[in-house]
Amino acid sequence: MTRYATTSSLTFLILLLCIQPLPGKIDFVHQVLPILKKNCAECHTEGQKKGGLAMNTLSEFLAGGEGGEVAVPGNPEDSYFLELVNSDDSDERMPPKGSGLTDEEVKLLHQWVEDGMDWPEEIRLGESGWEPSLKPRKITLPIAIFGRTHPIDRLLDRDLIKRKAPLPSPTDDRTFIRRAYLDTIGLLPTPEELDKFLADTKPNKYGRLVGGLLERDVAYADHWLTFWNDLLRNDYTGTGFITKGRTQITTWLYEALRKNMTYDQMTRELIDTKEKSAGFINGIKWRGNVNASQTRNMQFAQNVSQVFLGINMKCASCHDSFIDRWTLQEAYDLAAVFSEKPLELERCDVPTGKMATARWIFPELGQIDANASKTKRLKQLAALMTHPENGRFTRTMVNRIWAQLMGRGIVHPVDAMHTKPWNEDLLDFLANRFAEDKYDLKKFIHFVMCSEAYRSSSSLLSKEPGIDYAYNGPLPKRMSAEQLMDSIWQVTSSNPKNANAKVDRKFDNAKPVPSEILSFSWPEKISANWIWSKEEAPKIKLRKEVTLDEKPQSSGILATCDNAFSISINGRYIARSTAWEKPVKLLQSDLFQAGKNLIEVEAEMFGGAQGFVGQIVLQYENRQEVIETGADWLAQAPDQDWSQAQAVKEYGQAPWSKVLHSQSIQDGKTGTDPPVRASLVANDFLMRSLGRPHRDQVVTSRPSSLTTLQAIDLANGEILSNTLTKGAQNLSRSKKRKDIPVWLYRHALGRSPTEKEERTLLAVTQNSTDHQGVEDLLWLVFMQPDFQIIR
Amino acid sequence: MNLSDSLQRRQFLKQLGLASTAALATSGTHLWGNEEIVHPSARADSCILLWMGGGMAAPDTFDPKTYLPYEDGLEVKKILSTFPAIDTNVDGVKISQGLENIAQVMDRGTLIRSAIQPDLGAILHSRHQYHWHTGYVPPITVAAPHLGAWMSKVLGPKNEVVPPFINIGQRLEGVGEKEELKAFTTAGFFGSEHGPMNLPFPEQAVQSVQPPKGMEPGRFSNRYKHFKSLLDQNPNRDNMSDFQGESMIRSMESAHRLLQSDEKHAFDLTREPKDSANKYGDSRFGQGCLLARRLVEQGSRFVEVTTEYVPFLNWDTHENGHTTATRMKKEIDQPVAQLILDLEARGMLDRTLVILASEFSRDMMIEGVPGSTAPDQSRARTDKLKEMKQYGLHRHFTGGSSVMMWGGGVKKGHVHGATAEERPLMAVKDPVSIEDLHATIYTIMGINPKTAYEVEKRPFYATKDGIGKCANGVLA
């Protein structure tokens, strides 16, 4: 149907009516279509479905709307729409706007119905809403351009070329490493990590970086917990807990993330629940009467369809949806899967007398046995949801992850998966890939992050993109409240002491003890020395290089420091303790490698005695090798060169005596957890202000802009101000004042300040005698868009 | 600001598009549908909501019934009011003893005696308060915006420098049901740019617009100066011109504009002349009323002042109702009257709508409405009075409550609606639902009650489903 035809036929129609009131047989195209186009199209075509009625085609029109059928061919009396277009009641009349149909027009429609409603199939009043196929769609990859062989790039590049858009160029390494760290583990790279990466000239440095980050299981879980808590509406405080109308799934969820439980398995455990994960489908039980759409049964239908399928069932919980194809019946049928009792449909809170049958919404994949027990029904639903042919399931999740990493979903918004993606092939390819990789979330994240697309310079937009969005590289992302707090805490070592989340972050516990570790035994004797740098500095570094002929089967670390230390091996953070009487003791199968290994310790004393002591045991098939602290280690005080460590005391002597032999240390566990992260503590004023949601509802995106009230909180809020005070004290203790600006810029922003900037920064610290200058410096850096935005 | 000023301003804002409100970053929420919403012309430019959190008993405040004094052995079912009625300066309108000052400003406003609320099965303050403040009964599937957020969203700030939505007197930490309170003390899906600035302690309000504790003003302004220098010196300045970065810089600017403005002195109660401050009394609520007046004077759009809801405290009288009501009336009487008089003296009352309301009323006998399944929550159950703590209205009544409105656009010395003279004290004339009450408030403020914004591709209306109808009898 072309616009030309419509306009001309309309003119023709008017002429026709003047001359000849009603010809015998109605001509749809020339007589009826213009009326429909003029009076109905605005609200009932092109994805619009007011009253649930779509009129793009005859079959849609005949299917009727929310209130049932509106047109019956050959039967004007039963064709309700004729009544509506002829009504005098302004609340009822269609169309509601304008002067309505003329008597002639009404007469014409009447006759058209009486004649049997001829409406050729190929003639459409508008395009129906786009409906994705449910099943996975096989994608053939286009050829690679300019050697960009990653499948994601092959798909994106083809599209860019077609649009004659330039291929986004790769971003610089400093931007990349900051982006990669924040996206995988929600932390900033340290200046050392940054230098190491910049200096890396070996092949595949990007892939190796991402791979290494994803292996940091605790940090990964700490970061992604925020995304999943939002999605699964899990929180530590909030509505419902006080009356036991709600339970957490925190422990289960965290463990699933640490172990990288596959997504299909997670889904099965969330739907076909174990006790630990039941909090999700059970929803929130509110006290008192609630709207029929907010019972636990309906919450189940809404949350399951939104989270796993990107379907908004909220509309259909009250009435047939106006915006997509879901009906009240389908919403209730899904709820009935969960319901203990027979469920009666209520339309906008009014009982209808109709009963729901436990069913799910994509019968083409199979159906639930409505007569089975609730347990069985849930099991069946879990199986259908994770069915290999359920493309909607995989597309929904890959789209969510894409949006997290690239700043915007391939389908946007991420909960409206019936919306046409801006690159359908890409979405389907990713979904297939995710399924082929056995729903391995980390593997998928790794896959996306290894594309040239992820590594591209981000695309700068002057305003929030709308429907005209076209991909031109990843979008900059505003740090979440959690990323911001974590980064500030990381730079200033001011993490909170206690977590609200009950999760297992012990270094080794989550992984099953490998068989080779079972044969491990700690030596009785410890002949280590307490060591420190020759200079009496409060914060020092220690290191020891060891070259091994072969990789040990397992290794044990037993160490402590007066007062605090953290240990890394080959650049990988292993453990820390902040109290000398709580040593680190752990076993691990893959701490060391054949060849050169570097043990690095950052040690700190808070006052009084100082010393670090440790024993590292390498277990081979038939022998043990022991590395102990002593004068052969290297030490470095701030601003000094590396030199031999000084043996302060032999192990066993006062004041520490035989602290490493203490009975209270259990085998295989670290003394303390890594620093507490923002995702693990209850929401506070500052995080709430920065957009961490109240998790009564499923939340799938965070606000992208900073508001004035938030800015006021950042300018003078107590929480941030206290954090900065504490952070300034920490930094002043461990760093020389004049070094702070450069170090801070490198850690926080990933670059050194220019000379000009450094002058400004030094001016801030120079004029103050106490920590105030450092405090201001921290604020100045943390407030910069360069800090709060992941570019 | 007169009527045509306000119209002009609206026009001006429209033409300006985002430019004028750009100081507040846009959150991307847009109006529902293609239809042009026609707003009524505003009768008031600012709104003050005096919130009687916890359920203020109408028969013991604004709708006195037959009074029976305390007497040992008195049958409680006979009790309707526990205070005698007093005359007001409006002929034939009586209110409850203890409100003598308010009685003298009744000629400046309209008393609605027929406000009604739904019975939600169990009477829960937080759910009813959510309903009252947002127009929607929780739980709902999206986070509903607060009344103040609607005004901020639709009308924008009245003075760009002053936050449009300020919430005074309610602690959100360290009190019972705090999570439930937070759930509606928010702009919901409008995004936090329209959310409340919370000032739980009026006398500390100034801290919210001051440099952080212990920071000299000089250091504070220097810090911001350095911030701007660093932005300019940033070698990547050109790469920061994305909307995320720009909005961040803009918001920092407008925050510092407030913190360095003259308007910020409105937050500082010590700047109020002593004799004028004393007239508000020294209660937290009284000081809150004073603060509200100062903020509205400087151009805040919506200010709520609460007597504070804390379970079983203040108006939430599950026992000892008479004694507590005596205290609460003493707390509100003088400052509320003073607020009206002050606004009037400043020529502002005509363009300021002041509302006094509560989530529901109370009754000696009935929980919810007659026939309700709501459990009895009285803590002083008895058939006959044995001790003073049993004397008072201890049950939550949703069938008829009082709302007082003064100023901008409402009739003067008028009573709208009525409740029955005998129990049950149901609204028997011109009942006003929450939807209709909100429609009335919105109409006065120049907001069409059918205004809807799109959320999750659905319309979300200012009054539930757009059904609220303005109680025309209330408007002047």
Q: What is the pLDDT of residue A517?
A: 56
Chain B contact present for A173, CB below 8 A: no
Which region among A118-127, A407-416, B301-310, B402-411 has the lowest average model confidence (pLDDT)?
A118-127
Return the axis-axis angle of helices A391-406 and A217-231, rounded to nearest 10°.
110
Chain Cα centroid distance, residue A549: 42
For the stretch A27-36, pLDDT in tens is 888 888 888 8
Task: Say which residues have a Cβ less than 8 Å from residue A127's Cβ, sequence separation at least 6.
Answer: A45, A46, A47, A56
The edge-to-edge listing of strands for the beta sheet with A595-604 is A572-577, A564-569, A595-604, A539-548, A634-636, A643-644
Q: Of A21-25, A252-256, A293-297, A690-694, which one has max mean pLDDT? A: A252-256
Q: Which domain holds residue B289?
A: 29-205+274-474
Task: Say which residues have a Cβ less than 8 Å from residue A302's Cβ, sequence separation at least 6.
Answer: A293, A313, A314, A317, A331, B141
Interstrand relation of A643-644 and A595-604 (parallel, antiparallel or unpaired)? unpaired
Q: What is the pLDDT of residue B18?
A: 31
* Residue A711 and residue B251 in contact, taking contact as beta carbons nearer than 8 Å: yes
For the stretch A278-318, pLDDT in tens is 999 999 888 777 778 889 999 999 999 999 999 988 878 88
Locate all alpha helices (DSSP H) within A386-423, ordered by sequence.
391-406
What is the three-state SS of B378-415? CCCCCCECCCHHHCCCCEEECCCEEEEEEECCECCCEE
Cβ-based neighbour number of residue B450 at 10 Å: 19
Give the pLDDT band of residue A128 (cuts 50, 70, 90).
low
* Residue B78 and residue B309 in contact, taking contact as beta carbons nearer than 8 Å: no
Average pLDDT over chain B reads: 89
* Averaged pLDDT, B10-34: 43
- Is residue B268 situated within a structural domain? no
Locate A398 and state its tokens: 């890959």
Chain Cα centroid distance, residue A207: 21
DSSP string computed for A516-546? HHHT----S----EEEE-SS--SEEEEEEEE
Locate A420 and state its tokens: 């046409």
Chain B contact present for A312, CB below 8 A: yes
Average pLDDT over chain A reads: 87
* Averaged pLDDT, B146-151: 97
pLDDT at B431 over 60: yes
Number of domains composing chain B: 1
What gap in Å lies between CA B391 and CA B364, rounded to an integer? 9
**3-state helix vs strand vs coil in chain A, percent to 5:** 40, 10, 45
Of B467, B137, B460, nearest to A315 (Cα)? B460
* Averaged pLDDT, B300-311: 95
Cβ-based neighbour number of residue B85 at 10 Å: 17
pLDDT at A477 over 90: yes
- Is residue B123 situated within a structural domain? yes
* Chain B, nearest residue to A321 by Cα: B458
Chain B contact present for A282, CB below 8 A: no
pLDDT at A139 over 50: yes
For the stretch A708-767, pLDDT in tens is 888 998 999 889 999 999 899 888 877 788 889 999 999 999 999 999 999 999 988 876
- Is residue B220 situated within a structural domain? no
Which region among A40-54, A160-174, A448-462, A672-686 has the lowest average model confidence (pLDDT)?
A40-54
Chain A contact present for B262, CB below 8 A: no
For the stretch A102-117, pLDDT in tens is 988 999 999 999 888 8
Chain B contact present for A198, CB below 8 A: no
Q: How far apart are the first and last CA of chain A?
A: 46
What gap in Å lies between CA B157 and CA B11, rounded to an integer? 14
Give the pLDDT band of residue B34 (cuts 50, 70, 90).
low
pLDDT at A221 over 90: yes
Contacts of B247 in chain A (CB under 8 A): 705-706
Chain A contact present for B204, CB below 8 A: no
Peptide bond into B139 cis (omega under 30): yes
Four-CA torsion B370, B371, B377, B380, nearest 10 degrees? 60
- Is residue B15 situated within a structural domain? no
* Averaged pLDDT, A199-224: 94
Q: What is the pLDDT of residue A438?
A: 97
Give the pLDDT band of residue A510 (cuts 50, 70, 90).
very low
* Averaged pLDDT, A541-553: 90
pLDDT at A660 over 90: no
Nearest Cα of chain A lies from the Cα of B214 at a distance, in angstroms, of: 10
Report CB contact under 8 Å: A464, B26.
yes
* Averaged pLDDT, A676-690: 91
pLDDT at B35 over 80: no
Q: What is the largest CA-CA distance in chain B?
A: 84
Q: Give SS3 for A145.
A: strand
- Is residue B255 situated within a structural domain? no
What gap in Å lies between CA B257 and CA A241, rounded to an integer? 41
Cα dist from A505 to A277, A336, A636, whole Å = 18, 38, 30
Which region among A221-235, A493-507, B91-105, B154-168 has the lowest average model confidence (pLDDT)?
A493-507
Q: Which of residues 437-466 of A touch B (CB under 8 A)?
A: 458, 460-464
DSSP string computed for B227-263? HHHHHHH-TTGGGG-SHHHHHHHHHHHHHHHHHTSSG
* Averaged pLDDT, B167-192: 84
pLDDT at A665 over 60: no
DSSP string computed for A643-707? EEPEEEEETT-TTT-SGGG-TTSPTT--SSPSPP-GGGS---HHHHHTTPPPTTS-------S--
Report CB contact under 8 Å: B252, A706.
yes
Q: What is the pLDDT of residue B19?
A: 31
- Strand ranges inside B88-161, DSSP E: 94-96, 109-115
pLDDT at A595 over 90: no
Give phi and psi for A79, each to the nearest 5.
-90, 95
For the stretch B323-339, pLDDT in tens is 999 999 999 999 999 99
Q: What is the pLDDT of residue A7?
A: 34
Contacts of A718 in chain B (CB under 8 A): 212-213
Tell me B421's DSSP state. S
Nearest Cα of chain B lies from the Cα of A397 at a distance, in angstroms, of: 19
Chain B contact present for A705, CB below 8 A: yes
Between residues A322 and B208, the one the model is more confident about: B208
Nearest to A708 among B24, B222, B458 (CB): B24
- Is residue B225 situated within a structural domain? no
Nearest to B183 among A239, A477, A788 (CB): A239
Report CB contact under 8 Å: A462, B241.
yes
- The amino acid at B411: K
Cα dist from B5 to A672, B294, B295, whole Å = 65, 22, 20
Locate B54 and state its tokens: 């916890």
pLDDT at B246 over 90: no
For the stretch B84-115, pLDDT in tens is 999 999 999 999 999 999 999 999 999 999 99
What gap in Å lies between CA A401 and CA B378, rounded to an integer? 52
Q: What is the pLDDT of residue B17?
A: 32
Give the pLDDT band of residue B12 (cuts 50, 70, 90).
very low
Contacts of A716 in chain B (CB under 8 A): 207-212, 215, 220, 259
Predicted ipTM beyond 0.85: no
pLDDT at B27 over 50: no
- Is residue B445 situated within a structural domain? yes
Q: Which residues of A341-372 are buried (b: 16+ CB within 10 A; e: fewer)?
A: eebebbeeeeeeeeebbbbbbbeebeebeeee
Chain A contact probe: residue of B165, B185, B244 with most A CBs at under 10 A: B244
Q: What is the pLDDT of residue B105?
A: 98
Report CB contact under 8 Å: B210, A289.
no
* Averaged pLDDT, B404-410: 95
Contacts of B450 in chain A (CB under 8 A): none
Chain B contact present for A284, CB below 8 A: yes
Report CB contact under 8 Å: A697, B143.
yes
Q: What is the pLDDT of residue A587?
A: 78
- Is residue B269 situated within a structural domain? no
Which region among A8-12, A467-471, B278-282 has the lowest average model confidence (pLDDT)?
A8-12
We report the CATH number of the domain holding residue B319 as 3.40.720.10
Q: What is the pLDDT of residue A754?
A: 96
Contacts of A284 in chain B (CB under 8 A): 139
Which region among A44-53, A187-196, A708-717 has the lowest average model confidence (pLDDT)?
A44-53
For the stretch B450-467, pLDDT in tens is 999 988 777 899 999 889
What gap in Å lies between CA B136 and CA B119, rounded to an integer? 13
pLDDT at A189 over 60: yes
Whether the pTM exceeds 0.80: the reply is no
